[in-house]
Every structure is written in C-alpha cells, then in structure tokens.
Structure 1
Amino acid sequence: MDKKLLVKRAPSYYHNPELGLLQPIAYIDENGLCEPINNVQEDFPNGKIWVSKGFMDLCTRIGDDELFILERYEISGEDWQDNSSKHKFYSFGNAAKKLNPHEFIPVVQHDFLPNKATGLLFSDIEIPVSSYFFIFIKNENAIYGPFRVLENKQEKSKILSIPPQTPLNLPQDNIAKYDYQTLLEKNELITLSIDNDVKIFIRKTHNLRSIKYESIDFISDKNLIKLFMTQGFLKEGKNAFGKEAVRNLQKSIEEYGSEKIKFFENTDRFERVKKLLSDFLTQADYGQKIVDDFLFTTDGGKVFLNDYFEKHKDRLIKDKREELEKEISEKKAKLLGEIDKLEEQKKNKKEELIKIQENVHREADKAKVQIDKIKQQTEEETHQELSKKQKELLEKMNNLELEIKELEGKKTKFYDEQNKIQTYQDLVKRTNYYEERIKELIEQETNIKKAVETQQNLLASPSLGDELVKFKTIKSVLENKSSYPNEDLNIFLIKSNDFNLIENRKDFIDNLVNSFSKDNSRSFTYDEIANLLICLSQSFLTILSGPPGTGKTSTALRLAKFLGLVSDSNKTSRNFLNIAVGRGWTSSRDILGFYNSLKDVYQPSRTGLYQFLKKHSNEEFQDEKFLKLVLMDEANLSSIEHYWSDFLAMCDTDIAKTAIDLGIPDPNHRYLNIPDSLRFIATINNDDTTEKLSPRLIDRSPIISLSYSYDDVNEEYDDEISFDIGAVTYDNLKESFDISINEAKLDGEEQVALDKIIELLRDSRFNSKTIEISHRKRNAIYKYCYIANQLNFDIKPMDFAISQHILPLINGSGSAFKERLENLQIILEQYGYLKSKKILDTIFNTSEYEFYSFF
C-alpha cells in the first residue's frame, strides 16, 4: 500500500511463533505526518493485520507496548469477506521499523507529580518502560517531563527518575513545564485510539525546544547526597555516616562561605541538604533508604563499607557464624521431622503394595482357570457356534433389506400424495381468492347502484331546494368566521345492556364466534376472536396485516357490528368511524384538519374524525360510556407515523390519554380531548404501492396476520348460545380483557421461553444485526398472556404473543442473520409455538437474496 502505518503488537493465539497480529493505529504519509485511523473496522475489517512470516524476529526487536512503523502491507485476497477469522491485509516481520526514540513520546495523565524527594509515584496507572515520557496534570492544564522508570520494587509503586540526555538540553536533574493549550495550538500533541483507550503523544521532542517552558529543579534526596559527595565533603577513610561525622559535616556546611560551596548556586538545594542532615541526627530511621542507596551504588559508599568490614571483621564473622549455626540447627530439626513422616508413609505404602500383590495373584489364578476352560472346547464346537451366528446375521440382513424396500415404497407413495395435496391447496387458494374478489366486486357494484339511486331520488325530490339552502347556510357560516357548530345527526343509537361480562367472558366470545360464522363471510375460531378482543382492549392501535382478499376490512366492520356499535341498516354511529386513507397524506391535517388563521376557523378534514372526536367531548351523550372505534382502511398507503403523529404517543394504554393541540387561539376550543375508550384498527397491505411501517409504530402495536382461510370453522353452533346483549360498556370490556402491568405475570414455561428468545435475538456472537425487544413489548406480552391464560385457548397464548409482537420486528439480511432465525425456529418448535413457526417458515420461503422481513 502507498501509506505506511503506525502500529503495535496485538494479542494472538497462533501455535506457530512465526505468525502474529498487528493493530493499526494511524497512517504515516511520505512526509512523515501522522493521520489517526478514525474507523478501524471500515479501513481494516476484523481490526488487525496478519503477519504471515517473521513475527518472532519482530518480537525480539520491538517491545509489547512499543509503537513502530509498518513500511508495507498487502491485500490478502477475496476470501476474507466470507470468513470472519481472516484478515484483509497481511505483512512480514521484516517490514517493521523502530521509531526514532524521540518521536511519539507518551503523555500519561495523572492527578499529581511524583514525590520529588523519593521519586515514588503511588498509582496503578500504566507507565511506559520502553521510552521516556511526560505527565499531564489536568487540573493545572500543564505537561511536565521528561521522566523515565528507574525501577519497580513494589507491585503498586513506581520509582521515577529524569533521563540524563534528551533533545531539550535541560540542566541536570531538571524537568520542563509546558502549557498544555500551547502545545495543542502548535500541533505538537496527537491523540490516538489504542486498545479502545484514548492516549496522548508528543509528535517530536526536538520541536519542543522552540516552545516557551519553565525549568523546574526536580533532584531527589539520593542524587542530592551524591552531588555534595562528589564535591569532597566526605573524605576517604572517615566514618562517612556516623552521627559524629554528620554533625561535623553539618557544622562545616554552616561555616563554609559561598566560595567553598559555590556548587550550591540553587538556594533550595542548599536548604534541602541542611534539613536532610538535621533530620538524620534527630530521627532514628530518617534517611535510612538514602544512606543505603548511597552505600551500595556509589564508589565512596563502597570504600566506606570495605573499611568498616576490615576494622570489625572478627566480630562480624563471629556473629554470622552463630547466626548460621542457629539456622542450620533449626533446619536440621525440621528435616528430621519430615524424614519421620516420610518413613511412616513408606511403611503404609508398603502394606498397601502387599495387599495389591495378593489381589493380583488371586485374579491371575482365576484367569488361568478360565483360559483352561476355553482351551477344553473342541475345534468342532467352535466351528458350529460360528456357523450358527453367521446364519443369524444373514437372516437379519435379509429382514433389513425387506424393510428398506417397504420403506422406499412408502416414501415414494408419500411424495406422490404430498404433490397432490400441494396441487389441491394451490387450487383452493386460487378459488378462495377469486371468490373474495367476486364478493368485493359485487359489494362495490351494489354500493354504486345505491349511490346512483340516491342521487336520482335527490334530484327528483321536492326537498332539493331545502338541501341547497342548507348547503348555502353552511357555506356562509364558514366564510363569515363562525364558531364551531354542534351537529346533531339523526343516527344509530347504541342499545345499552348491563350484561356482566367479567363473569361470562367465554359465553360472550362464543356468541361472537357464532355471529361471525352465520354471515357467510370468513369464520374465526374461539382463540382468534378472543385474540381480537384482548388486542382491542389492551392496545390503542391494532393492525390487521395480510394480502388482498383475506378479509381485513370486513373483519373490522363485522366486529363493530357484532359489538353493537353499528347496525345492518345504518352504518353510521357516534361510536364507529370508517376512514379510507388516501395516497400522499403527510400530516395530521389530512386525517384530522387544521386551523385556518385567515378565516379564524378550524377546517376539519373530509374523514370526519374531528367531528367524531368533538362529539365525545360533550358528556351529555349516553354513548360516551361505550367503546369508540375508528377503522383506518388501507392505512399504509401513506406513512402512518406522519399523518397519525398526534396519536402515536397515546399508544401506551397504561398512560391517560392527553388532549390534542388544534392551534386555535381561543383557549375554550384550542384542545381536543381524547377519551380513554377510543381505539383504532388499521388494515395494511405489503406491496410496492404502500409505505413501510416504522420501528416506532411496530413497537407500539400488535400486528395480527390474516392469511387466506383454507380451514374455515364449520362447526355447528347451537342457537341457544346466540343472544342479543347489545353493546357492553367500555369499562366492562376493559375490566374483562385488560390488566395492569403490575398484576400481569407469565407462568414458568412462558417466562423461560421468552427469556431464551430475547437472549437469542440480542446475542452479539452471531455477528449480524440484533433484534432488541423493548420493555414496552415485554409488558404487552405479559399482559396479553395473563388474560389469555384465563380464557382456555387451544393454541398457546405465548404463540399468539410472539407472532404479533416479536416476529414483526424481523428485518435483516445475510447468512449470519439467517442462522439467528434458524435458531429461533428451533426454539419455537421446541415449545410447540406452531403458529409463530409457520409465519417464520413463510419468511424463509419468501426471502430473496438472503433478505428476511416479516412484511
């Protein structure tokens, strides 16, 4: 490649030491300028560069935490795209080049500088050992240095010193203090991401010489002692660190004038030396570490030790001999004790060995007897036995061959029957589709004829003039800034009933099943009707999804009819509204209306939704206590999230409904109250003419899938269970089919299955898009299953919940995403969730180019 790379060694687990991995950090151009890699996964898929040869040599030349230059690297080929364990780029160990020791110098962030007297820095921060470094004190906004690690004697403490030579040319035992902001402005600092951690580096130390800094004396006590020793204050042959010598030394320093101690130009150093000697004389252990360091690391200290040993040799040897004799005596006693224990163990092991040998002899005798018995069998007997076994095996082989032929015949017959069944199902499917289309066309023809007949009667009616006067009156009211009329249409009034639904829920559901089965349209099972009622009660919006002709619209209309909200003769009701959604709706003005500031009037849309909701703000209507149901037919011809945005936040049914701001200046009419009893049903199709549902909308509503009905319920229902109870109240309906989330819970198997599915869909190990199940969805599943479990479903309630709340979230592509769905398929089959498994099978069968979606 054209650009060089700044890299470091990465952890690798190859058995071959010649192979390894490098972590790319930044690009280095031909001028030596550094450009950080902002998106490693995009530029270097899998995040690493593979070293295919010479990695061992690279490791001997370059340390673990050391940055270095990779001068060349190449593309591996195309197979890395199909194998996540392979890497896009490779290189060799001899392409690695060490950095200039004064480039990319680390800057370590810390709260304070190390102790100047000792050099100790008590901290668990990472300190580089392969180069010198600087320290950034954030609260001072300053950078100090240079420093280097001298030694590491304790696990949590580090001893730092000042490097003897750097390009800064500082005085000995001095460090520099730079303003952090100044270095940033002069582009001398660079920030790099290494091992998911942001680290700061100085580009080149040479460049810092031209930047203003403050020189700080940072000499340690140890080096201060060395300094005055080199100036002749300690003469050879003297007792260098006896207290009498120190007192004389202290006195001489006080008496000597500036000429004698001219090397102490730094007054601070002079004062530190005097205090150090004073503390040494007054405190028993003070300065012991400094003295020890001096004695064992300097020539003067070594001379003192030799002199001291020669003068006290006999006493030191005697003390050492006594110490060694005592130590040897203690070790001898300890070893003798251990020998006694070993002897005891030896004795026990010997007894165990004797017992084992006796057992071996007994078993050998038994084996010998058995061998002799076998030898007594004649050769003829052995031959007869083998012949008998051979005959038995031949019979078994013949029987198995017959079974295989029989199974092959059954398999062929089974496949033939399967083909016939598939052909028949296709024919039934096409027949049902055409029958539904014929019904729809006949219904459209009837509606058209009625409309024509109505218009003809109106034109021929003597009351045409009155109707025109009404129209003119309404028109003049709108143009003359009228207030908001309170229309009172002569429409269907709901029949009220005090039916106790909570105690008769199953009879109520059976009655609806019977009603649906008698009107020559699509029939529903007990489970399906109960599912509709639970979703309608618990969800502000329920979505019916399916291909054309599956009865989505008719299902919503029939449900409103059988719930007593409308009648056969009159389709209009204060409690039911049918809205045909149009193409190109973009805002709430298309479904609700808008405030016309020029005319100072609120102009409702043609849908009638504004008038429908406005009526229910008047508490005098007795219909207010019943369910208010709005059907949005073909709802995804336009984006639901756009034109229905005023209602989207109300989908959390546990939260009280809010009012909609109409934008009218008059505070008495500005807000449109939304009743708690309002519910929406939306029908959608999934083809190129419709809009895709947004994730926010899917997260807030159940999606019921209606497919072509091949197995309509044809059970004979007894007329005795069919009864006209009128419309039950909304409170009665909600109490029977809804529950607070605080009371809802799953049974043991449901909870385990749901946890497995959630964990599978969010598992990052599949290396594909995850599917997150929100708390809102989980709460909806808890509430649904709690009520459904009380109604004795034939199909498992969790099966319905998964198909309506989890499967609609499926939208992804690739082989890894397919593997995730295949694992989901296994879980669904394991727990007997066959309805959900069937929908997932359909997703697999209709996928194209490894793209999998519920819709």
Structure 2
Amino acid sequence: MQRQQQNERRVICAIERGYGNSDSDVGKLRAFFEVSSPNEVTPINSTKMFCETEQVFVTGKFSELKEKFGNKLFEVYCIPSFEHRDGDCRYVTRLGSCSDIKGLSCCQVFDHPLPSVTEPEVVLTSEPQTKSILFRDKDFIYGPFEYTNNTETSEGNKRYQVKAITTPINTTTPSFHIGKVSSPQYISSLYDKIHQPVLLGNIKRCFDSAELIDFISDDQIISTYGTKIAKNSEIRSFNKGTITQIRKSFASSIEQRRFPQRFQRLFEALEKSNSWEGNRKELIDSFLKTDSGKQIVDNYIHLNPDDLFKGERQSYLEQLDKEYEDKHNEIENLRSRKEEIESEIRKLQREREQVELNAVQNSDSNEALEVLTQKHKAQFDTEIQDKKKELDDLQSEIAGLKSKYRKFTKMEAIEDEIKGLDRDKDRAKERLKDMEEQVVEVQKKLKESNESLTARLLKLKPDVDALSGIAPRKKRESVSYNIQTLSTKLDNLDDFREELIDRTLDRLNKLGRKTDYNTVTNILTTLAQSQFTLFSGRPGTGKTSLAKMLGTSLGLQNRLLNIPVARGWTSSKDILGFYNALSCSFNPAATGLYELLTQLHKESKDSINGAPAICLLDEFNLSQPEHYFSPFLEMSDPESKRTIATGDQEAPYLEVPHYLRFLGTINNDESVQPLTPRMLDRAAIISFDEIEPDYDLSLGTPVSLDDSDIIPISGKAFIEAFAPKSLVLPQEIELTLKEIVDTLRDDKAEFGSAVNVSFRKVKAIRAYHNVTSSMYIDNRFVALDYAVSQHIIPLLNGYGKNFGTRLEQLKSCIPDEMEISHKMLHKIIRNGDQNMFTYGFNL
C-alpha cells in the first residue's frame, strides 16, 4: 500500500454497486469505518464528517476490484474529489489504492446464541464479510471465531463450523479462549445500521478486559493432549488400566489445575473410546444391516474398488490382455486382408480403365473411319498423279541418257574410257598424297609450337601464383558414384510398381518419417515422370529431410547429390564448373555435380544399366534458377539431346541419361527469387503445407538404415515402372480437365488476365493419371486432384478483382472430391482478398 499523503483518508469498505453500462468501468464502495491511527478505527462519520453518502467513488477498473475482493471488506486510501456536488461522493479511489485488511481491525457481528463447545456449529443467513466473526446474544458479544463452510441447509442457508481463533487477541489470553464483552465495552466501536452488516471495530481494545471462556473443541483437546500421551514411553497399549495411568501422569501438571474442565472432557473421551472397543463389532454388524449401513458400504466400495477387488481386477486385466492380444491379431489379419483387397481393387480398376479406354478408342475409330477414308482417298489420288508425273520425268531422263551414251555401244570405246578414268584416278591419288604430307608437316610445327608455349607457361606459372598469392591446392578426394543395382524382371509393371511403393513406404516409416501410401505414390510417380520436381512449403515442414530419407529408402547412396544453392549464383560455372584455357583442363565446381555427370556419361557410353540418380538442390530459388541452371532446363522436353557442353577439348560433351532427376526445395518469402513462368511450366510442385504429419506416430525412435544394405533398382526400371501406357483419359476425367483448362484460358475481360496451361502441362497430367488412377482407391478424382494441385494450381498468379472472379469460377469447376486442389485454391483466394487482390500460389 502506498504511503498516506496530505488530505488522504483511510477507510474500510465493501463493494456497493457498479455501473456496467459505463465505458469507464466505474462504481461505488460502502464505507463502514475510518482508520484514524494504526490501531484505532471509528464508525464512519461518528467523530469526523467523511461524506454524507458514506460512499467512495471508484474512478476505474471497478470490475477488477469486484472480482478481487468479492463481498469481503477491504482497506481503501481515498482522496477528495475535485468536482464535488450535492449528493455526490466527496472522496474517490482507484484499484491500486485498495488492499486486504491486516489484523483484527473489525469483525462482522451475527445475532446468534453462543454455540456449544462440544458441537460448535451455526447456521447463518448470509456469508460473512470478514475473516473472523462475532456472535451477539442480548447485550453480550462473544468471540472472535474462525469459521469453515460445511454444508447448506434445505432453506438455502449455510452451515458453518466455528472455533476460537488460532492466534490469541493479546499475550494474556490463553490459547483456545474467546472473550465475552458487554454493551458499555463495545458500543462506541459498533457499526449498526439498517440494511447494512453489523460490524465491530477496535477488537483488541474492546476485548482487552473481556471475560474469558474456554472454547476448546473435542478435536483440539485430543490433538493437543493426545500427542503428549503418545510421546509417553511408559504407555504402550490402551485399556482401562491405561486411563488410570494417564490420570496419574496429568494429576500433578499445572495445565490440569489451570484447565480442569479440559481434562475432564479428555478422560470422558478416553473412557468412551475404551468402552467402544467392546461392543463396536456388534453395533457395526447391526448398523450394516440397515439401509443407511448398506448405503455406506456401497459408497465405500464405489470409492475404494482397487483395494477391494485387487485380485478380481488382476484376473480381469489378464483376461483383457488375452482378449486384446486376440483382437490385435485379428486386426492385423484384417489389415493384411484389407491390403490384399486394396491390391485386388487396384488391379480391377486398371482392367476397368483399360476396357473403358478400348471402348473410347473403338468408338472414336468407328466415327473417324469414314472421314479418314475420304481423306485418304483424296490423298491417294494426289499421290497417284505425282507418281505419274515422276514416271514421265524418269522416262525423259532415260531417253537423254540413251542419247548421251549411244557412242559407247562398242566394247573398244568403253575400254578406252575406263583407261582414261584410271589415269585420272592415279593423278588424284598423287595430289592426295602431297596434301597429306603437307598436313603432317603443319601438325608437326603446331605441336612443336604448342610444346614450347606449354613449357614457357609451366615455367612462368609458379611466379604468377606467387605474385597472385595463390597457394597450391590439394587434390580433392574422389567420391564413388558407382553402385550395384538389382536385376529385375519387368514382366508385370503394375505389380513391380506397387511392390516398390510398399517397400519405400516401409523404409520411410522405419526411418521415422510416418506417411501414407498415397503420399509415397504421389512423390515417386512425380519424381519418375518429371525432370524437375520441387518441394514447396514453410520452413520446418520436412522438405529436405524427406528428400534425403527418400534417397536412403531407394538405396541411392552418393547418387543422391545434395547441393545447397548459394545466393548470387549467376551462371553454370557456379554449379558445374568451367574450362580453364590456361591450364587446358576443366575446373569442376565444389558441388560434385561434374563428377556425378562424368559417371553417368560413362554409363551411357558403356551401356551400363546404372541406378537412379537424384540431384537435390536445397533452397533451389535462393538464386535465379534460369541463370545458374540454364543448361539443364531444356532436358524437360522429350526431344532434348540431353547433352551438356563443357568446353573441354578431351570431353567436349557429357551425355545425361534419362534416369537423372532434379529435386529442389523452395521457400516463398522475401529472401528468395520468385519462380518464373518458364520454370513453373517445366516443374511439378508438391506443396508440403497440405501434408499433415502424424505427430503421434512420429514420436517413436527411428531405425537407422544402412544404405549399403539396400540394393537399388536400375534407373531404366525406375523410369519404366511409372511410364504411362496411354494418354487417353476416362470420359468424366477428360471433361473435368477440359473445363478447368478452358476456364483458365478464357480471355474474357471480366475474368482478368488469362492463365496459359501449356500442352506440356496437360500431357504431364494425362501421364500422371494413367499411372496412378488405379492406385488411389478413395475416389475416382484423387489422381486428378494430385495432378492439378502440382501442375495447374502453382500457375495461378494474377492481380485485380476480375482475376479473383476467374479463381472463383475455377473453384466451381473443380469437383468436391478434389480436396487438395480445393484447399489450395481457397487459400490463394483468401490471401489475395487480404492483399489488395494480389493472387498467387507463392503468397
């Protein structure tokens, strides 16, 4: 509490009322006493005028004040009001000027006879407002008492257990005693007004000369003196003779002479306890036969089942364990059966789709046959005319040749012509020999010049390095990218693909990455079908860790090359290296990509069936991919030659096989470069924001898998396992995809800027659906949902309300079963509406 200031007054108050409709949260307090000195309180307005209203105005935070003190009395520092008017409070206060009452400044008085010391229980019509209470009977006041709330009566009043206060009023008052004071002793300190609680202040002064009454309860007697009996080493058992021994031990004590009534009650309690032992069993047995006794037994059993049914509980738990084990085995069998049924469903779906595709192709061929026949007929007529014209030209040419070589009809003329041609041939050989000798001479001179220049350069290099401060570099240890592959038979691609997915899923789970069948199927299919796959998501969603675990699960070892992209990369020399014309050698970058490409080039030239290779570009868009990664972008096209120019004379080109895949992780914040439409058109983007990790399953300890124990399949088998058999879609899927593409390509002004969905993207969606549609058994749109979310949703970038209208139109085109696409599209629309109609997948 703050130190009292000038004009500040200290009063004891309670909550009066608040003004809940006021914005300032104000209210009023009822003042009962004024504190004139630390040990002196007087009823309000009795000695010095405080306020006609006997109230104090609270200027703020009244609700907090009410919540803190409730209906209890508390102490308040208040100051005069600056705007006093008739009928208003003269003093105001605030929350920080209110605190609990310390000591016995005042107690609430209840009109009630003094309760019996053996049964100190009272029923009060209202809850006490002070920590200690007093009872008034006629002109006498008894107390102070401490109280505890026990129960409520049927009328709603509360029943309290009372006892003498623990700390005596003064040093002369014995413990467990209360005082009795008459009206002249307390009347000047009594606050007694209509409709207000009766309160008595100056408790210590009023009870200074009070008549003392011993109000120790039976429990307090047993607690106080029973402890002393228990500490007596001579008393080891309890019987009738023991009570006599106890009487003798206390006979000469000062306490017995001072408080004989206490000890009389103590000995009566001990005798009752001793006699109780004899007939307790009989009384308990007879009582337990009554309804009340049966109720108590039932309640005890209900509250203590563990002690009563320990043996039965153990037996029941063992039975439950056995049943659990049986049910667990049954569940495992059902789960295995479920997986077999799902596999059968996938096979049946593949057969059904093949039938549908054949039906579509047959219907299309019947309709197109007539058109094709007419078209081919006209084409054949044209070709016949062309062939006739060509035949006429040949006949004219033959006639000219006959005229030209008519003079060689005789054998002698032909032999002379042959001899002339042989002489021309000999002269041509002599000229060729001379030219070859000249070439050898030039090569010799060039070699001598080159050796001379190289010797001079080697002689000057140490001096140049010393002047430039270049220290000699140690040769980097080579990394082996050559690993053994598992020989596989691709008789049934569907079974082989499903086995690969199950095996990868199991290894990921063992590594601690708990995921599901659909997620693994999606990632493996996308990785096999797309040259560039990007993992997008917030930091901490596990993009890089899943990529590394995927490499471990596939057994790729060093063929999963992790390249952390640095900011400021501007050309391919940052990731691949460059040809040094001075040293006539290729200087590879520290990323290890050149060494990996060299190994893959060797496998291509030697027709080695190597394992798949994945280049993991961590933070892929920290620098602009089109700058440092430009030589590799054109590999996404089927017609690509898949070669990288090095500039090295010894190995000018590196051939890149199809089973090298690029996997990148990207973030979408201010620190990275946005992906351009060129990059978005070539990459499949898997959003990790939509993948919900199973945290409960991820709490287990992961198992470490040794890469060397996992033999990977060949890269060719990996690509072929996920290669589409056809790009034809079922009719329902075809119509849905067409509606989505047409909605985005629609160039109406009311829809804002159009979104170009390239043929490359449509082809990728068709290929993905052809492979995975029979593997997702949730509904027929799951495969299309994954494909659209990875190939089309990332293309959605635009501005303005009209573009938002286009997105809403797109949302209405997408079936409800495509939950991932719906969720991502809803997020784009919501964020765009909040960012001044700027819509984008990366916002």
- TM-score normalised to structure 1 length: 0.40
**Larger C-alpha radius of gyration, 1 or 2?**
2
